[in-house]
């Protein structure tokens, strides 16, 4: 995600919230361009700490989403802040998405489910994958309402019209003013809606076409939900067949992404520090053990940290 943003976006700053001390050490040692890594101790407040032990790791990350957005806006004095999921990859500049909200205070993105995969009733109409808040009176009003709601209830199951931090967004267009629902189809293509589109390459761009009406759009980001990995010996295996996968989507979107993941594993292996207590005092740790630890952190526990575009 970071390297795709670096490739396509000329002006950004990424705030990475590390929900694990080992992740914090690794990321800070990487000295990534345009990145600020924030530790748990820096942003956790009394409200979060009061419910932390009552939530699972995933639930606590969801609970913290709104709090970390608010932290970025207030601590770094940002004019706006966009939350983005760690398992997305950019294929063009996301500036077009933020620009679309114009003078509105909050930008939200719909799941746009394919009917056979529609989980609106239990997962919500909107997806907390790319959400923008402006540092305005109304933007902060919505953000603080969301923060308080998540502190009160944020769990990994459906209950009384709530699911995690996500279904709170369902009535924002009527509960608040200044809410914009993203119209650009290139923002938010995902396994649950990709069956509605076909993709072709044109001038190094990925152009999507709606199968129902022929409308075209440029792909901005893809959400790689349900992409699983496993390791057998020295090999990484990826499973992305949880949803029906059109051949061109596999060729143009999934295979390049998997290739980039493998490349980034190799980059991570150059760091000499071991994490997770495996040979912490040994400099020349065997590369395959180190790769296994990194893989576990980055893929199997990617809900332990989140990414943010600040400006």
- Which domains, and CATH codes, for the chain? 2-186+297-309 (3.90.550)
Residue 300 has pLDDT above 50, yes or no: no
Q: What is the pLDDT of residues 220-251, one digit of tens each?
A: 999 999 877 766 655 556 666 678 778 888 89
pLDDT of residue 157: 96
Nearest to 85 by CA among 4, 159, 181: 4
pLDDT tens figures, 137-177: 999 999 999 999 999 999 999 999 999 999 999 999 999 99
Tokens of 225: 């939900």
Q: Average pLDDT for residues 104-110, to the nearest whole number?
A: 98
The count of C-alpha atoms lying within 13 angstroms of the C-alpha of 29, restricted to the half-sphere facing its C-beta, is: 15
In angstroms, the CA 72 to CA 86 distance is 17
Mean pLDDT (the chain, rounded): 85
Note the pTM of the prediction, 2 decimals: 0.85
Q: Is the pLDDT of residue 206 over 50?
A: yes
Q: What end-to-end distance do the CA atoms of the chain give, in Å?
A: 16
Q: How many other C-beta atoms are found inside a 10 Å radius of the C-beta of residue 35? A: 17
Copy the structure tokens of residue 123. Answer: 């997962």
Is 70 exceeded by the pLDDT of residue 293? no
């Amino acid at each position: 995600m970071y390297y795709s943003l670096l490739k396509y976006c000329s002006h950004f700053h990424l705030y990475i919230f590390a929900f694990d001390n080992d992740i914090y050490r690794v990321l800070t040692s990487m000295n990534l361009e345009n990145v600020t890594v924030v530790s748990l101790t820096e942003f956790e407040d009394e409200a979060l700490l009061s419910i932390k032990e009552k939530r699972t790791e995933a639930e606590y990350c969801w609970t913290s989403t709104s709090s970390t957005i608010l932290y970025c806006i207030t601590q770094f004095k940002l004019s706006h802040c966009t939350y983005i999921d760690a398992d997305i990859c950019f294929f063009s500049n996301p500036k077009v998405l933020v620009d679309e909200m114009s003078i509105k205070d909050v930008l939200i993105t719909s799941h746009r489910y394919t009917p056979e995969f529609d989980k609106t009733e239990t997962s919500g109409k909107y997806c907390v994958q790319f959400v923008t808040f402006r540092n305005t009176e109304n933007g902060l009003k919505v953000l603080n309402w969301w923060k308080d709601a998540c502190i009160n209830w944020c769990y990994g199951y459906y209950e009384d019209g709530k699911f995690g931090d996500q279904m709170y967004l369902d009535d924002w267009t009527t509960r608040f003013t200044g809410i914009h629902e993203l119209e650009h189809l290139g923002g938010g293509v995902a396994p649950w809606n990709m069956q509605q589109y076909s993709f072709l390459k044109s001038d190094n761009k990925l152009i999507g076409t709606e199968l129902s009406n022929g409308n075209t759009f440029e792909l901005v980001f893809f959400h790689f939900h349900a992409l699983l990995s496993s390791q057998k010996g020295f090999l990484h295996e990826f499973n992305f067949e949880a949803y029906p996968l059109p051949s061109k989507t596999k060729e143009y979107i999934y295979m390049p992404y998997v290739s980039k993941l493998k490349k980034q594993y190799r980059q991570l292996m150059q760091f000499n520090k071991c994490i997770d207590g495996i040979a912490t005092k040994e400099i020349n740790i065997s590369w395959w053990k180190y790769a296994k630890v990194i893989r576990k952190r980055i893929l199997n526990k990617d809900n332990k940290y989140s990414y943010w575009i600040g400006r």
